[in-house]
């Protein structure tokens, strides 16, 4: 059965919007769109198409932006999905760049597709976005990828993402009067190294999806690969059972080391108490799918107790440190992915990024491992699609 596809405002975009709200600065008088340059260094000869899709944070409406930075809300959806209008923007040829404008108070995605335009559909709930791990998705044979952004009074938050899949390596950057910062660039030959490492791990090998011409179109993240029947849905079960049986202390806020929660395992339940001994959170043992998705038993509400504990637990399980290190978050990148059944997908991606940063799962920002750039007063931003 085909899984329901999510709206364009993704979990990461929600997280970015929340982060932006937490660190928001006073509103800027400059409401003009932000120049955003997409540069193509892939070496591929395919035509490139760009899409700027997301949510108007002022109105809450889903829609798209054109190359000039004008936001338009979607209209015309139906109970049975119908084709969305073609809102593609011509992208850069190899060796060139295309500068578009991003409207203020928008959060969403910037898609890049190669050779073909993406197929989007509209429902009464909003946009149905590409989900090539789902049976029958019309974008399965298209090479494409995306990065995610929020642009509001707190500035720009821009990240590459591999939460669902890895396809087109891309460096994200932001420029201001303070200079330019960037992240997400792979090492030389990094894309192929990631492919080779995942293909060489038997449990993950089928998550590498190849097109009819031999081009690797994408590597599906473990959760999406399992959804598509390309990976065992119980891959992580044994490790989870072992890790869930160990006491753990969660210190979720790096700037508040005195805020600590003690985890007490009892059968399949892990309960947390605060400094007074009061029980503040209880989690049932998660399934492999819960860990891959950081949801279900590990769902993280937007609060100051349960959510921070849940995201810490999920990051520790993803990285294989829960049950090994008794305080979480704990360790460094050198300690991650060393468990008996590691997340080879996340491991390979992080190992092959020039600065080690990536968004390989939803809470990869725990301990600042994510490929995110932020500036409160940006003058421009961009994506550079790197060679492969």
Q: Is the peptide bond before 175 cis (omega within 30 degrees of 0)?
A: no
Distances (CA, A) of 159 to 112, 162, 185, 275, 360: 14, 10, 11, 36, 11
- Alpha-carbon 287 to chain mean position: 21
Q: Which residues contact 374 (CB under 8 A, 6 or more apart)?
A: 23, 155, 156, 157, 158, 174
- 164 part of the active site: yes
- The CA dihedral of 149, 3, 211, 114, to the nearest 10 degrees, is -30
Question: Measured between alpha carbons, how far is 331 from 313 in angstroms, rounded to an integer?
Answer: 14
- 303 part of the active site: no
State the catalytic residue, choosing from 145, 148, 197, 364: 148
Three-class SS of residue 355? coil
Question: Measured between alpha carbons, how far is 110 from 37 in angstroms, rounded to an integer?
Answer: 11
Three-class SS of residue 136? coil
State the catalytic residue, choosing from 112, 164, 227, 370: 164
Burial of 45 (0-12, 13-18, 19+ CB in 10 A): exposed
Q: Which residues contact 140 (CB under 8 A, 6 or more apart)?
A: 132, 209, 217
Report CA torsion sign: 53, 24, 378, 157.
negative
Put the strands of the sheet holding 165-166 in their side by side order.
Answer: 165-166, 216-220, 208-210
Count how many Cα atoms sit within 13 Å of the Cα of residue 234 in the half-sphere of its side chain.
2
* Catalytic site positions: 148, 164
């Amino acid at each position: 059965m085909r899984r329901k596809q999510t709206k364009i405002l993704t979990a990461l975009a929600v997280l970015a919007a929340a982060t932006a709200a937490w660190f928001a600065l006073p509103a800027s008088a400059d409401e003009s769109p932000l120049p955003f340059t997409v540069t193509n260094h892939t070496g591929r000869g395919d035509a490139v198409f760009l899409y700027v899709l997301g949510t108007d944070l002022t109105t809450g409406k889903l829609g798209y932006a054109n190359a000039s930075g004008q936001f338009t809300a979607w209209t015309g959806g139906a109970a049975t999905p119908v084709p969305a209008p073609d809102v593609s923007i011509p992208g850069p040829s190899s060796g060139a760049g295309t500068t578009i404008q991003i409207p203020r108070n928008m959060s969403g995605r910037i898609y890049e597709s190669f050779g073909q335009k993406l197929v989007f559909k509209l429902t009464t709930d909003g946009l149905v976005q590409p989900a090539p791990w789902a049976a029958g998705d019309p974008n399965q044979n298209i090479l494409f990828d995306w990065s995610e952004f929020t642009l509001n009074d707190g500035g720009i938050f821009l990240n590459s993402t591999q939460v669902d899949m890895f396809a087109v390596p891309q460096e994200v950057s932001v420029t201001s009067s303070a200079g330019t910062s960037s992240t997400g660039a792979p090492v030389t030959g990094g894309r192929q190294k990631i492919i080779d490492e995942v293909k060489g791990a038997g449990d993950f090998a089928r998550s590498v999806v190849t097109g009819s011409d031999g081009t690797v179109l994408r590597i599906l993240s473990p959760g999406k690969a399992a959804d598509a029947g390309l990976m065992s849905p119980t891959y992580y079960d044994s490790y989870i059972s072992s890790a869930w049986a160990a006491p753990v202390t969660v210190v979720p806020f790096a700037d508040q080391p005195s805020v600590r929660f003690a985890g007490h395992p009892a059968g399949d339940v892990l309960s947390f108490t605060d400094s007074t001994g009061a029980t503040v959170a209880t989690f049932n043992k998660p399934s492999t799918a819960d860990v891959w998705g950081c949801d279900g038993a590990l769902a993280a509400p937007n609060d100051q107790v349960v959510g921070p504990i849940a995201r810490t637990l999920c990051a520790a399980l993803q990285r294989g440190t829960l049950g090994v290190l008794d305080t979480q978050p704990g360790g460094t990148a050198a300690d991650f992915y060393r468990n008996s059944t590691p997340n080879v997908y996340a491991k390979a991606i992080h190992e092959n990024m020039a600065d080690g940063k990536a968004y390989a799962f939803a809470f990869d920002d725990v301990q600042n491992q994510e490929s995110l750039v932020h500036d409160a007063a940006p003058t421009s931003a961009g994506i550079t699609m790197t060679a492969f």
